[in-house]
Structure 1
C-alpha cells in the first residue's frame, strides 16, 4: 500500500494558532495565562486518506489504532438508467394488468362454454392478476422462464418478478477493518474471517494490547423477527477464535450502547439501565443495574487509566459518573460531573490515560482524577478552532494527546472528515487576542461554526463559547450566573426572558453601535419587525431571523379585520353553529397558554411594572378557554379526525401557526379549499401577528470588549450569513430586507437561475403532508407573495414565553378550570402574583 507522510495537513486555519486572550465582560473571565493553556492544534492522520470507506468507529489499545470503515457501493439497480427502466416496467405492468382483466373475463366465458383451449404448443400458461390461467405463445413462455426460474407457478401466485432481485441489486455496503500506529504510520488492513453482509453490522469493538479483538455485531433474524447480538472473538491476525450469542444474556428489548474491557479482560456491555459483564471467554458474570428508583439512565461508559470501568448516568438527582464494582456486583462510588448529553457517547466520556478518565461538557474537555476527586480543564474547543458538533469518538493517548473522528460536512470547501490528533500548543506560542465570551442556554451548530470561522479570520479578537445545555437546569443556572455578575460579552437570550435584563439596565443599546458602523444600518432591516424588538426606541436585543405567529382561516371568516378580540372569536364560533370550535384538539390550558404568550405584552409592562391580568379581557379569555376540555379529557385515539378533515367539515375554523414558513401558504390554501387570510391571536389592541426571535442576541452594557462583541454579533446580521451556503435553511424569515427579497425570489422563481453566490437555483418543488393531506408545493404565486408581505407587515408585537409567568398562570387557573374558584377570583390572584414577580425582578 502506498504510504504518505505520517502527519497530513491540519484543519484549515488551525495551524495558524493566533489565539486569545485578555479579559471578559464579567468577573468570570479567565486570565490570559489560563486561556493560553487550553489551546490545542489538530492535524489529520494521513492513514485516513488511504482507508477505503468512511470511518464508523475506532479505538486505541497500546500504541495502535483500530479502525472500522464502511463503504456504500451502488448496484446495477441504483443508476439513472435502472430507474428509467423501473419506471417503464411499472408503466408496462399497469398496462398489462388492465389487459389481464380483459383476458380473465374471456377465459371465464370460455369455461362457461366448456371449450377453453390453449394456443401454447407446450402447454405453458400465464397467470393473470386474478390468479386464473390464460393462454400464452411460445415466446411469452420463454420470457416468463427467467421470472419463474423454471418452476411451475401455482394458481393465485402474484409474486412480482422484481421480488427476486439479488440482495445487492441496488447496492451493498462493504466493511473494512484497519490498524495503524498512533502517529498514523504503518497502516494495515486486517482480513477477518467473519461473515460480512448488510444484515450483520459491527456496532462496537474493543482491543487488547496484544491484538485480541472483541467484535460486537448486531443483526436481524427475519424468522423470529428479533434483533440479534453476537460477540466474535478474533486473534491479532483476524482469525475467529470464539463466538458469544448475547440473546440470552441481554434483557429483552435492551440494546448495547457501549463496550469496554477491564484490566482483567472482562467484557462490559452498557445497556439503557444495566451493565452486563462477561469474562474474556464470553461467560456471563453479572448484570449490574442502575438506580431505577432514581430513574437513572446510562449515557456513556469508559475505562479508567488503571483499568476500572465507569459509567455516566443521568437521573432525577442530575448527572454523575459511577464506578462499576464487579466484586460487589453493584454500582460503586459516585462522582458529580456534568457530562455532555450531546454527540457521541465516546466523546462525552473518554477512556483514561494521564487522568483517571476524561469528559466533555460541550465547551471544553476535562481530565478527572478519581483519587483527589478533582477535575481540570484541559482543552477549550472553540479556542482551538474546533466545532464540537463535528467531534465524534475520542480517545486519549499517554502524554496529553487526543485522537478524534472528526466529521465536518458544512465547509464551503467540501467535507472534512477523518482521524485527527490534537496536540497541546505551548502557551508561549499562542498570540495574545482579546477574549470575547458568548453564552447561551443551548449554543447550536451554526453559532459554533460562526465562532470558529470568526476566530480564524481575526488577529485581534477570539470568541469563547459557554454552552449551558449540560446543566441539569440550564435556565436557572444561566439566570443565576447573570444576576450574580458572571456575565458574558454576548448574551444569547433565546429561551430566557429578556425583559428582566433590559429593565435592570444590563443590555447595551445596539443602535449606538449601528450608528457608528459602515456595514450594518438600521435601514437594512424590516422596519415594523425591528420596531417590535425595541424598548422605548432603543434596541437592546436583536434576532437575525424571526418567526411569524398567526392564525389562518378563510378570508370570508377573518379577512379585512383591524381588530380581533376574544369576543370576536366567540361570535365567530357561534355564527358557525354545530359546536364548531376555533382551534383543533386544544385543551383549556393550551388555549390559555397559546393566547397569553402570543399577547404577552398586553398583560405586562416591564418598564412600569404594571400588569393587567385583572382586566375584563383576561377574565373573558379564561371563560373562553374553559369551553375546551381538560388535558386528560382529550381523546387521542386512532379514530380522531385530522385537522384537514375537521377544517373541511366546518368543525374547526382556524389553524394556529407558530413560525409560518414561505411554503406553508400553499399547504393551507389546499387545507381550507378556499382563499385564506391571516390574523393575530385574539387581543383587545390589534389584529396584528406576533414575531418570535429565533436567535435573540444582546451585548452586556458594561462589557470591556464591546467592539469585539459587536464585530462577532454583526456577522449574523449580514446578507451573506443569511443567504449564503448552509445558513439559508432556517425557520421563519430574515430580518434584513435584501435577504427577505432574496428568499422570496428563490421561492417564487419559475425558471432556473444562478444567484449572486454562484448557486444554481431550481424552481421550488416539494411535497408537504399534514395528517391525511398531501400537497405538492411549487413556486409561490404573485398572490401568495403578496399575502406573505401582508402578514409580515402586520407584525406589531413580540411573542414572549416567560416560564415563570406561565407557571404562575398555570398554578392559579387550575382552580377555575376545576370549578373551585370563579374566573374573576383567579384573575385577581394571578394579577397579584405576577405583579409581585415583575416588580421583584425589575
Structure 2
C-alpha cells in the first residue's frame, strides 16, 4: 500500500499536467468517439451493458480492456493469480487510466481521496432522469467519500445477520457489548452460535461493519475493550478449527441440509448470515427458522445502531479525472443503470434505481404461488405469501442502511497472522488489539 500511496502522488501530477490519451475520435465522417473501459474480469452484466450501449447509439463506442487476462493460475506464485488486479492498480496510480474503470476488487477509497475520479454528483444534479430522487438516497450517501460520489454500481445486495428472537431477548439491533452477553449465554447453554463456528470467521463477522476500522472516515477503535473481549471469546469456538473463514460445513445431500435447518427450527442455533439480492431470498431466511421467531438483527455495532449493510454489485463504475469524454462515460453508466437486472445471468441483486427496485419486489409478490418453496444450502423452505406490510417493512429496512460492509480489508495477511499468534498462545488479546490500533493509526497518518 505504501508503494501505491507513492504512485498516487505521481498520478496527481500527471492528471494536472498531461493530456489524456484514453479517448480518441475515429474517422471524422462517423462522428463516433471511442471510450475505453478497464475491468479486472468482465461480468455478465458489464459485457451486456457494453454490447447494448454500443448498439443503442452512434455517438460513442466502448472498448473493454480486461486485466483478468493477465492472471496466471498455473503459476507457483500466488501473486500471479491476481496479476491483472495488480496491473490495473498500477495503471490507475500512475495516471494511465481509461475513461471508465470498473473498481470491483480495487482499493478505491485512497484513489478517490487523491482526485483520481470525477465526482458523479456533477452529472446527477443536472440529469433529468437519473437525479438524486431516482436512487435509493441512503445508497448514494453510503458510497460517499468526503461528500463526493466517485463510483456507482447499478446493483447491490444486503449483508446482515438473522437471529432467533427468543435467544436475543427480542432485540432488533445490538451493541458489541449486548452481542457479547448474548453469545456468552448461548454458548454456556450449549446452543450453536452459527453454522460453522471457526474463530477467525467469527472475528470477521465482528469486524464486518467498519466498526473498529473505517477507511473512509479514517477511524480506528481496536483499543475499545470489547474488541479484546470478543477475541478472547472467539477462542472458545471450535478451538482446533482455525480456517481463516473458509466454510468447512459438510453438505452431503438434502438429508444433511434438512438436518442442519432443523437446528434453526428447534432453537439450537442462534445466527445465520444473510446475504441476499432478492425479495424471496430475504423471506427465505425467516422460513429457515420455521415456527421459531426470527429477527433481521444485523451485525453488532459500537453504538448499538443498525448493523445491516450494503454489498456492492459486480460492476462498480468510476469516471477517470483524466478522461476527455466524461459526458460519454456518464451516458454509458446511465445505460447500465437502466438494464433490467433480473434478466442478467448472475447472482440476483437489487437495482439501485428506486422505481426499478420497487418493480422487482412487486414482481415477486405477483408471481407467488401457493406452496412456493425456496432453497437455502440444499434445504427446501416453504415461503408464506408476502403482503404489502412485508414490502413496507422491507423497504424501510433498505432505506435505513447507512453504510457498506468492510470489503476492503487492509493488512489482511497481517491480521490473520496475529490471530494465529493469539490462538497459539504467543500473543494476548490485548497485544493483538494494541498492534492493530497502532498499525492502522500509523497507516492513516502516513497516507494523509
User: Normalization by structure 2: what TM-score?
Assistant: 0.81
Structure in which a larger fraction of residues adopt helix: 2
- How far the C-alpha of 1:784 sits from its partner, in A, is 3.1
Structure in which a larger fraction of residues adopt strand: 1
Contact 2:301/2:307 (CA < 8 Å) preserved in 1?
no
Structure 2 residue aligned with 1:689: 308
Structure 1 residue aligned with 2:354: 737
Contact 2:162/2:274 (CA < 8 Å) preserved in 1?
yes
Quote the Cα distance in structure 1 between the aligned partners of 2:195 and 2:86.
Answer: 33
Quote the Cα distance in structure 2 between the aligned partners of 1:688 and 1:649.
Answer: 25
Quote the Cα distance in structure 1 between the aligned partners of 2:169 and 2:403.
Answer: 20
* Residue number among 228, 232, 252 corresponding to 1:619 in the alignment: 228
- How far the C-alpha of 1:691 sits from its partner, in A, is 0.4
Q: Deviations over 1:191-232 (max 9, x none)?
A: xxxxxxxxxxxxxxxxxxxxxxxxxxxxxxxxxxxxxxxxxx
- Map 1:379-398 to 2 at 5 A: none
- 1:813 matched to 2:431: no
* Residue number among 185, 195, 200 corresponding to 1:589 in the alignment: 200
The structure-2 alpha-carbon separation of the partners of 1:448 and 1:671, relative to structure 1 and needing over 3 Å to count, comes to closer
- Map 1:351-362 to 2 at 5 A: none
Quote the Cα distance in structure 2 between the aligned partners of 1:586 and 1:430.
Answer: 64
Structure 2 residue aligned with 1:463: 62
Quote the Cα distance in structure 1 between the aligned partners of 2:402 and 2:206.
Answer: 15
- How far the C-alpha of 1:453 sits from its partner, in A, is 2.1
Quote the Cα distance in structure 1 between the aligned partners of 2:393 and 2:166.
Answer: 15
Contact 1:558/1:677 (CA < 8 Å) preserved in 2?
no
Structure 1 residue aligned with 2:177: 567
- Map 1:643-654 to 2 at 5 A: 643-654=260-271
* Residue number among 137, 144, 157 corresponding to 1:534 in the alignment: 144
Quote the Cα distance in structure 2 between the aligned partners of 1:715 and 1:747.
Answer: 24
- How far the C-alpha of 1:774 sits from its partner, in A, is 1.4
**Does the residue aligned with 2:194 lie in a helix, a strand or coil?**
coil
Structure 2 residue aligned with 1:485: 95
Structure 2 residue aligned with 1:117: none
Q: For this pair of structures, how many residues does the alignment match?
A: 408
- How far the C-alpha of 1:30 sits from its partner, in A, is 7.5
- How far the C-alpha of 1:588 sits from its partner, in A, is 0.8
Contact 1:583/1:653 (CA < 8 Å) preserved in 2?
yes
- Map 1:95-114 to 2 at 5 A: none
- Map 1:28-39 to 2 at 5 A: 29=22
**Does the residue aligned with 1:464 lie in a helix, a strand or coil?**
strand
**Does the residue aligned with 2:410 lie in a helix, a strand or coil?**
helix
**Does the residue aligned with 1:613 lie in a helix, a strand or coil?**
coil
- 1:600 matched to 2:230: no
Which residues of structure 1 form unaligned runs of 5+? 1-24, 37-427, 751-761
- How far the C-alpha of 1:533 sits from its partner, in A, is 1.4
- Map 1:203-218 to 2 at 5 A: none
Quote the Cα distance in structure 2 between the aligned partners of 1:650 and 1:763.
Answer: 29
* Residue number among 266, 284, 296 corresponding to 1:667 in the alignment: 284
The structure-2 alpha-carbon separation of the partners of 1:676 and 1:650, relative to structure 1 and needing over 3 Å to count, comes to closer
Structure 2 residue aligned with 1:768: 374
Quote the Cα distance in structure 2 between the aligned partners of 1:486 and 1:678.
Answer: 44
- How far the C-alpha of 1:465 sits from its partner, in A, is 0.9
**Does the residue aligned with 2:118 lie in a helix, a strand or coil?**
coil
Contact 1:599/1:683 (CA < 8 Å) preserved in 2?
yes
Q: If you compute each CA radius of gyration, which structure gives the higher value, 1 or 2?
A: 1
Quote the Cα distance in structure 2 between the aligned partners of 1:787 and 1:559.
Answer: 21
Quote the Cα distance in structure 2 between the aligned partners of 1:486 and 1:447.
Answer: 21
Quote the Cα distance in structure 1 between the aligned partners of 2:344 and 2:276.
Answer: 17
Quote the Cα distance in structure 1 between the aligned partners of 2:172 and 2:289.
Answer: 22
* Residue number among 332, 337, 340 corresponding to 1:717 in the alignment: 337
Quote the Cα distance in structure 1 between the aligned partners of 2:64 and 2:446.
Answer: 30
- How far the C-alpha of 1:485 sits from its partner, in A, is 1.2
